[in-house]
Structure 1
Amino acid sequence: MAQLAVGVDFLSEFGRLQSPVQKKTKEALAKFQEHTHAGMHLEKLANVRDERVRTIRIDKFWRGVVIAPETGDRFTLLRVLPHDDAIAYAKSHKFTVNEVSGALEIRDVAALEQLTESPPAATVSESKRLFEAVSDGDMRKLGIDPQVLAVARMIIDEPMLDTITPVLPEGQSDVLQGLAAGMTVEEVWSDIVAPRVPAEPIDTDDLVAAVERTQGRIALVDGPDELLALFEKPMALWRVFLHPSQETVAYRPSYWGSAQVTGGPGTGKTVVALHRVKHLVTNRELPANSVLLTTFTRGLAEALDRDLAQLLDPEQRQAVQVLNVDRWAHGVVRAEHGTIVMAYDDELRERARGAADALDAPFTPAFLLEEWRQVVLANDVRDEAGYLAAPRRGRGRGLTKGQKRTVWAVIERLTVGLRRDRKWTHLTIADEAARLVAARERPPFRHVVVDEIQDLHPAQWRLLRAAVPLGPDDLFLTGDPHQRIYGNHVSLRSVGITVGGRSTRLRINYRTSAEILHWSLGVLGDIAIADLDDGLDTLTGYRSALHGEPPTLVPANSPAEEARLLAAAIDEWRADGVDPGDTAVVARTNWFAKRIRRELADHGIETADLHDPSRGPDALRVGTMHNMKGLEFRCVAVVGVGQDSLPLPQAITSVSEDPVRHVLDVQQERCLLFVACTRARERLRISWSGNRSDLVPSTLTPQ
């Protein structure tokens, strides 16, 4: 019986094929189980670069491109394309094994030969070269072979590299992109190359072994049932596959303490967290609910739970408890104190105003509440002496000792009133839960895995630190400071967590096209982003492995026109084969999102909330930028990005009240827009009415 491996390019393309072609593709590939050339319509071509290439007939107009082994029965499906395109692809490409990584490489030999035989005119007139500081020896050490090296020596700048990248073998392209982004040879080796180097010797003639080593880009399918599952949810299932750099981190036998994984959007941090859970439960005998997999919001926790079900069998799943931090904290406090009654923002502002008025304190409710959250609760302050000594990280307005005493008196009056009335906030619940868990004789978990760590408050960190005993593999943390959208800043050391020597950065985006990513990075500008270890985070070397359409900027004269143009764009996406459920419309506020839903309904477009699991693929998703965290869609429309809406005025502290907080608030709005834009896999559309927000880069010509 023939065995089938499936390339990621095919998986990403399958969902875009028209339904009849999808059906015929399934039928044709199912015949691999028969292992008869006649049944599969497997055809050998003349005048090819690689004698192992074949095409498989899908129908009269479509063909698949397949690598056939010289021995054995492991076939690899790479692409499904229109007939002539498939023939051209098969004839121009060659399949090799990298001498350093042992991975399968797919190279456009015809294009590479044309580049070296007829170099671009710019390379003749320009003497400076992009990689002139990197020796041939270092290039070879990093896995750059002679053919690619000849091309690399012609490249004069990064735009030229971006143009050539699609014809390069992917692994070698990653190396060149890393060097171009400013990474040293040593950094490229440790971050990109070393994780891919196999323990066993490499046979460059053994294509089957290379396929098995390339599971980050090729899925090995075991039988017809798994093949059908891959077709039903190609991108959802692909999310739980690992690339080599991710696999090294997720399946390291053990960390001798806490470990941290950071990286930009789409680099696979969540996938790494899921696989770390799998490693923990697979290699140890663990009792039920002894591993906590947690994150910031309930919606993200539900997504983690769904993805985990694809990785673990039912018995393994019993060892893992999946809850967002607030939900777990609520359960701990409710078990001790009974029913919880929440105090939300409006009530808190009134209580803060009343406490300040009672003491004739000249501070606004906004300032007092932020001081309470970011200084008192963040530093676990219990009395005036503790407050006077506490660091005020991120608080720009300086206070004299006398002013601090006044502020403490107001905050104490506020918190006494809340306790008297048995009212809670999410942070006071986390604070109390941390105290209760720390007082237990034994922590409740053996291992804790945390995703989206950048948004957690120090009170929540204290709870997580108390949840697991100090020791090997206690905490495994994943996140991206550039996606911090809730204004919480923390030093892990300050909450008893150290990750020295156990921190890894992922640099390759496997979700968003390079064109969308490049534009989205412009949203961040030149702002400095604090990491979680008393330093600054960097996106040096961060890049996309994909190419596609650039974002579209769409101004409108009125909100009604913006909605009409949006509806027309959605209709175009649907005509191109994009399911409504794989499309998202995103706004800054709930109010704007609800208005857009009404206006789209007037245009006959059915919508659903972003996190509504009851709605199927026929409903387009609508929600806020905050709720987009952790999600991805083929097409994303970000609406209402006008000067009066972003930054959201009520989310920005005035310069007069706190100049440092003002800068951080604007930075947070930039990060929020960045998160929303980087949820798009293929198409990103930005629209506004009136004047465009200053946060929107103008590097593209509006349409």
Structure 2
Amino acid sequence: MAESNLIMIKPLSRIDPRLRSKAFAFLEKLTEDDSAPGLHIEPIKNSADPRVRTGRVDLQFRAVLFRLTGANDVSYVFHGIWNHDDAIRIAQRTKLKTNPVNGLMEVIEATTPKEEPATSTWVPSPGAPTAATSTADAGPSPATGPAAVTGTAPVLGATAGTAPAPAPGPAASVESAIVPTRRPWQVAATRAELVNGLGLDEALAERVLACADEDAILDLAGAFVDWRSNALLELAAGATVAEVKDRLEITEAPGRDDSDQAILDGLRQPASQGAFTFVENNDELRRIIEEGDFGAWRVWLHPEQRKYVTRDYQGPFRLSGGAGTGKTVVLLHRARRLAKANPQARIVLTTFTTNLADALARDLSRLDPDLPRAQELGDPGVLVRGVDALAYAAIKSAGSEISAAVDDVLGAPSSHVQQRTAGDAWKAAIATAGSDLPAALHTPHFLQAEYEAVVLPGHITAQADYLRVRRPGRGVRLNRKERAAVWQVIEAYRASSRVEGTLDFAEAATVAAAHLTKQAAEGQGHRADHLLVDEGQDLSPAHWQLLRALVGEGPNDLFIAEDSHQRIYGHKLVLGQYGIRIVGRSQRLTLNYRTTAENLHFALGVLDGGTYADLEDQPEETGRYHSSRRGPVPQVIACGSMNGELDTAANLIRGWAEQAPQEGRGTETIAILVRDQYQRDRVVSGLGERGVNVRPVDREAVKPGPPVAMTMHRAKGTEFSKVLLFGMSEKSIPKIVRGADYSVDEKQDALLRERSLLYVAASRARDELVVTWSGEASELLPRG
């Protein structure tokens, strides 16, 4: 029996469901014994590469592979599965080679068997256009695998085309594309830099320089399956050759030969690991084959993502990036890396909401089912909890000792604080003690924000302290009389909570932080060794105080992922004010893996008109965000009435659902996103009346079944193949933005969060995005 290693190519993720079990069985047997007679692993006569082999998957389909003999073992690069005759032709023409400049492995296609082209061509990925075709002219793709020879007939698993446009309902019309104009583009490199510095061959360098706009170079990048795809994507974003080499970690490692060992060495370089992976075991193989695109992030990390997983930092580190750039992916892999490096380490992975924490826990189990998991705060292993759950866990474990922390924060000792304050408590406090409040401050929104941003972080328990405290970043100026009026309401709020024995979320986090800080000062240590934070932009000052108290300052203490453009809950703040200093330890991801370039441009258009700052109070820009994928331009459909909009939605969802099986997807990859639960339930009912079954989703996970409908807030942390944004009219903007009973600062910040919410919703769509409304369109939609 001769065991062998298996190397998979990323574009394999498009696997026809009818071939998955056969593909797994074939590859499993290949790794166990490549000499097994049933596999029929055979060389191909007159092939461009003597390493190429074919193997029998079944009577109709054959796999194309490359056999590499290393110093101690044998490896197979799995290229794809095609109909028998097509597989033979592909095997004859395709070859592996090392790049003479950087030593990375490349997949090229010879013009004829045994004939190396004067300038190497490339092997297109599924559905990708060649240099001479447009997206609409893209040729067929294989049953599974990244390559297709021009003219090969479609086989099982050929990439499905774009969904048909929805049949408009009554009084519906498709507006002109509301997509921001593509920015001017010019490659930031010379021909010599592309060839001699980066390693592109001369013909490809000429094609890059000839690209007239960003669309052209994105089309070109989509035609490759190896390192060149990522390199062209970086060039499309305006990177220089030096920046491309840094982001992909391309080193000076010339490929002096095309030996098997040289190719294996090239495959192990960081720049190759974004497209090729050495499969560790059969469980990983099964996950790769069965989960396809939605599970690809667990195996193939972009080199820039990988370096943030593996590097150590002497203090807090902040990783920013737009929606879909892989920040959460980095956190999950980093948690795994830290746990494997030290199984006794106490690692906490946290985020803002319970739904997001549950999703993190599920994804961590998918990434590594055997990873040690902690059950309680302070236990070895990885603990995944929402940040508020961490606060209540610390309070519960403190027992009666929590009374001192309550006194420190709220001015009155109590250990009966396990219940949560009612949602209308601020309204009740205003009714009780708010008679002296100016009209502009007579809102729960302002008072809660003032309490959480100023009073709680400073542990203010007396009016005299509040009258003289600084209020940086609050916007609204308060004179002495106004501060006194605000304090009266705060005292009424606290008095009611003491009677009820409750804490609100911010109070609980502040109390827990005070208790943990006191314990550490007394020599009892901290509860965590490493703390990883997702969606950091939504956390409050109290949350940051809690997180700083949970883990002591030191190597790899805090790793924070955030995107100020996705701030849909919290208020703007600066981490340095809460003991978290990230001077010189901050980086940004710019390559979007989730959405198509067209959907990304639409989503970014929503942000136009807003001014955003990150957690270090630096301007947050979107100019360098770019996507690795192409797709149809988002549709925006104006409807004359709610009934017309529901008719349009029914036609659209019905067509998508019929198409889903052809794409190898379930209908749960279709989502309708709306502004609130009332509208969600109305849409579910209206579509049901039209014979379209849609399932409302609240806190539960999205599982196989009918298409889903959820609020845009609930959609945070999810992704779907196709998304309908329903009801995007001017009425979808909340009262705080449109009304006159709120301060200017409140309204501006609320409008910023509404932009962020629509950006989050639009960026949930992987492949296709449709936007509908009736009446007047929302002012937040991009206008071209």
TM range (shorter): 0.7 to 0.9
Report if aligned partners of 2:673, 2:709 keep a CA contact under 8 Å in 1.
yes
Alignment partners' CA distance in 1, 2:655 and 2:574: 47
Q: SS in structure 1 opposite 2:757?
A: helix
Of residues 508, 511, 517, the one that matches 1:432 is: 511
Relative to structure 2, which stretch is displaced further, 93-102 or 457-466? 93-102
Report if aligned partners of 1:610, 1:621 keep a CA contact under 8 Å in 2.
no
Q: Does 1:691 align with 2:689?
A: no
Which digits, 9 at most, give the CA deviation of each residue in 1:200-219, with x for residues without a partner? Answer: 98866422333344333223
The residue aligned with 1:483 is: 566
The residue aligned with 1:320 is: 382
TM-score w.r.t. length of structure 1? 0.86
Q: Report the CA distance shift for 1:101/1:414 in structure 2 as closer, same or farther (over 3 A).
A: farther
Q: Does 1:447 align with 2:535?
A: no
Which digits, 9 at most, give the CA deviation of each residue in 1:539-579, with x for residues without a partner? Answer: 34221112223323233333333333333333322322230
Relative to structure 2, which stretch is displaced further, 322-331 or 46-55? 46-55
The residue aligned with 1:630 is: 717
Which digits, 9 at most, give the CA deviation of each residue in 1:97-129, with x for residues without a partner? Answer: 345664433457879769999999xxxxxxx99
Give identity over the alignment, percent: 31
Which digits, 9 at most, give the CA deviation of each residue in 1:663-682, with x for residues without a partner? Answer: 22212111111111212222
Q: Does 1:586 align with 2:673?
A: yes
Alignment of 1:425-574 (within 5 A): 425-440=504-519, 441-574=524-657
Alignment of 1:220-369 (within 5 A): 220-235=278-293, 237-241=295-299, 242-252=301-311, 254-284=312-342, 286=344, 290-312=346-368, 314=370, 316-318=372-374, 319-334=381-396, 335=399, 336=402, 337-338=415-416, 340-357=418-435, 363-366=441-444, 367-369=446-448
Report if aligned partners of 1:102, 1:204 keep a CA contact under 8 Å in 2.
no
The residue aligned with 1:125 is: none
Structure 1 residue 273, shift from structure 2 partner: 0.9
The residue aligned with 2:68 is: 69
Q: Does 1:416 align with 2:495?
A: yes
Structure 1 residue 271, shift from structure 2 partner: 1.6
Structure 1 residue 535, shift from structure 2 partner: 0.9
Structure 1 residue 520, shift from structure 2 partner: 1.5
Q: Report the CA distance shift for 1:492/1:67 in structure 2 as closer, same or farther (over 3 A).
A: same
TM-score w.r.t. length of structure 2? 0.78
Q: SS in structure 2 opposite 1:598?
A: helix
Of residues 130, 141, 145, the one that matches 2:197 is: 141
Q: SS in structure 2 opposite 1:238?
A: helix
Alignment partners' CA distance in 1, 2:468 and 2:103: 57
Report if aligned partners of 2:432, 2:492 keep a CA contact under 8 Å in 1.
no
Q: Report the CA distance shift for 1:650/1:87 in structure 2 as closer, same or farther (over 3 A).
A: farther
Kindly indicate whether structure 1 or structure 2 has the higher relative contact order, using CA contacts under 8 Å at least 6 residues apart: 2
The residue aligned with 2:454 is: 375
Report if aligned partners of 2:38, 2:56 keep a CA contact under 8 Å in 1.
no
Which digits, 9 at most, give the CA deviation of each residue in 1:573-606, with x for residues without a partner? Answer: 2322230222222111011112222334442525
Alignment partners' CA distance in 2, 1:116 and 1:560: 44
Structure 1 residue 611, shift from structure 2 partner: 4.5
Which digits, 9 at most, give the CA deviation of each residue in 1:624-645, with x for residues without a partner? Answer: 1111111122222222212211
Letter aligned with residue 333 of structure 2: H
Q: Report the CA distance shift for 1:140/1:50 in structure 2 as closer, same or farther (over 3 A).
A: same
Letter aligned with residue 7 of structure 1: I
Alignment of 1:20-31 (within 5 A): 20-31=18-29
Gaps of 5+ in 2: 112-118, 123-128, 135-183, 375-380, 403-414
Q: Report the CA distance shift for 1:251/1:362 in structure 2 as closer, same or farther (over 3 A).
A: closer
Q: Report the CA distance shift for 1:181/1:359 in structure 2 as closer, same or farther (over 3 A).
A: closer
Alignment partners' CA distance in 1, 2:563 and 2:44: 47
Relative to structure 2, which stretch is displaced further, 455-464 or 231-240? 231-240
Q: Does 1:607 align with 2:695?
A: yes
Q: Report the CA distance shift for 1:283/1:176 in structure 2 as closer, same or farther (over 3 A).
A: same
Structure 1 residue 266, shift from structure 2 partner: 1.7
Report if aligned partners of 1:250, 1:279 keep a CA contact under 8 Å in 2.
yes
Report if aligned partners of 1:487, 1:664 keep a CA contact under 8 Å in 2.
no
The residue aligned with 1:123 is: none
Q: Report the CA distance shift for 1:101/1:662 in structure 2 as closer, same or farther (over 3 A).
A: farther
Q: Report the CA distance shift for 1:601/1:281 in structure 2 as closer, same or farther (over 3 A).
A: same
Which digits, 9 at most, give the CA deviation of each residue in 1:643-664, with x for residues without a partner? Answer: 211xx22342757743233222
Structure 1 residue 478, shift from structure 2 partner: 1.2
Relative to structure 2, which stretch is displaced further, 655-664 or 430-439? 655-664
Gaps of 5+ in 1: 121-127
Q: SS in structure 1 opposite 2:318?
A: strand
Letter aligned with residue 327 of structure 1: A
Of residues 767, 772, 779, the one that matches 1:682 is: 767
- Count how many residue pairs are aligned between Structure 1 and Structure 2: 680
Q: SS in structure 1 opposite 2:773?
A: strand
Report if aligned partners of 1:380, 1:459 keep a CA contact under 8 Å in 2.
no
Structure 1 residue 54, shift from structure 2 partner: 5.3
Alignment partners' CA distance in 2, 1:477 and 1:454: 9
Relative to structure 2, which stretch is displaced further, 373-382 or 450-459? 373-382
Alignment partners' CA distance in 2, 1:269 and 1:347: 36
Letter aligned with residue 691 of structure 1: E
Relative to structure 2, which stretch is displaced further, 78-87 or 332-341? 78-87
Letter aligned with residue 605 of structure 2: G
Q: SS in structure 1 opposite 2:424?
A: helix
